[in-house]
Chain A
Amino acid sequence: MTASATESATLILRPSADDHRIAAYAAAAIAITIAEAALPSPLPGVKPGLANIIVLVVLLRHGWKDAVWVSLLRVVAASLMGGTFLAPGFVMSLAGALCSLGVLGLSCRLPAAWFGPVSHSVLAAFAHIGGQILVARLWLVPHDGVFYLLPLFALAALLFGVVNGLLAGQILQGDAAVTLDGVLSAPTGTTTGEMELSK
């Protein structure tokens, strides 16, 4: 106790291997979000959401809790970098992320032999637009006119959900075989904070 008095006066945060891993995935997701913001969009709000590929990979490799961390870190950090923190765009993106995480929490309990990354991706994409349009209706545009855009958003969710799911499937392809309870075993090398996106 006395010997460590000076040491205990300083708070030392030692990031665990889990922290390193989550930070690495989140960094990848943030980079994709920023890059994607530069892409032109045919309709405001319609974006491929490529960062969700990372969330899907994390979900299927490391479980739901890690996916929640990565997804929310991405939303907060990307909004800070884009200068939209706490702006309507941020709230919309947070609402979408929370809804899709909720759905992913349920969908990852589905039997993995039957439902792969494409299912998770499509379900999450629909939850995403559902949450966003609900927030838009309740808060930003309190009028049923917003639902006029719903079919387009749903179509975009279907298309990008499939594309993102297939891309996540490609990344996951090299991973260890699916265990019976649907949890993919983590690839080696993550303890040092390295991340393997492709093999």
Chain B
Amino acid sequence: MITAHVLSAKNWLSCLRPGDAITLISAAILVVFLFLNFWTNTRADRAIVRQGGELIAEFGLNNTRRVEVRGPIGITIIEIAAGRARVLSDSGPRQYCVQQGWLERANAVAICAPNQVSLLLAGSASGNRHDSLSY
């Protein structure tokens, strides 16, 4: 008896009212919009390195390089290579920022909190609309 009640779709849907459809459709549209807005692939084109909230440097992602940042508990090494960047090593105890591995997308961020170092990838919102310009 109870099983039949629980399995009956009609029973479950009986509390739905006409306006609920409006709510559900609007909510679904909002979810789709949020995915399109925040998850469409904006490629990162530069890495922003901060220490203690201060901007240390901004690097393009095209050139391979290693950057050493000195913080209160030691040195954090950031590696930039071929359109991506990572925290190569950090003196923090938990190594969260190192374990994040390579960051590739715009707005991706790795924070080494103990050493107050953050690595943020930035990209223009327009992404790679132009791959070349000529006059």
Using a CB–CB distance below 8 Å, which chain A residues touch chain B? 110-119, 122-123, 126, 143-145, 147-148, 150-151, 154-155, 157-158, 161-162, 165-166, 168-170, 172-173
Q: Any chain A CB within 8 A of the CB of B130?
A: no
Interfacial residues of chain B within 2-28, with CB under 8 A of chain A in the complex: 11-20, 22-24, 27-28
Q: Could you say which of A111, A143, A151, A173 contacts B38, with CB atoms under 8 Å apart?
A: A151
Decide if B20 touches A116 in the complex (CB within 8 Å): yes
Q: Could you say which of A144, A161, A170, A173 contacts B27, with CB atoms under 8 Å apart?
A: A161
Instruction: Please name the residue on chain A nearest to B19 by beta carbon.
Output: A114
Decide if B38 touches A147 in the complex (CB within 8 Å): yes
A123 to chain B, nearest CB (A): 7
Decide if B34 touches A151 in the complex (CB within 8 Å): yes
B7 to chain A, nearest CB (A): 13
For residue B15, which residues in chain A have a CB less than 8 angstroms away from its CB? 116-118, 165-166, 168-170, 172-173
Separation of A25 and B38 alpha carbons in the complex (Å)? 38
For residue A117, which residues in chain B have a CB less than 8 angstroms away from its CB? 15
Separation of A157 and B15 alpha carbons in the complex (Å)? 19
For residue B18, which residues in chain A have a CB less than 8 angstroms away from its CB? 114
Assuming the contacts A126-B30, A145-B109, A170-B12, asked whether A150 and B19 have C-beta atoms less than 8 A apart, the reply is no
Separation of A115 and B37 alpha carbons in the complex (Å)? 29
Q: Could you say which of B19, B34, B39 contacts A111, with CB atoms under 8 Å apart?
A: B19
Q: How large is the interface on B (under 10, 10 to 19, 20 to 34, 35 or more residues)?
A: 20 to 34
A-B contact pairs, 18 of them (CB 8 A): A113-B17, A116-B15, A118-B16, A118-B17, A118-B23, A119-B17, A119-B23, A145-B120, A148-B38, A151-B31, A151-B35, A151-B37, A154-B31, A165-B15, A166-B12, A169-B15, A170-B11, A172-B15
For residue B34, which residues in chain A have a CB less than 8 angstroms away from its CB? 150-151, 154
Q: Any chain A CB within 8 A of the CB of B67?
A: no
For residue B89, which residues in chain A have a CB less than 8 angstroms away from its CB? none
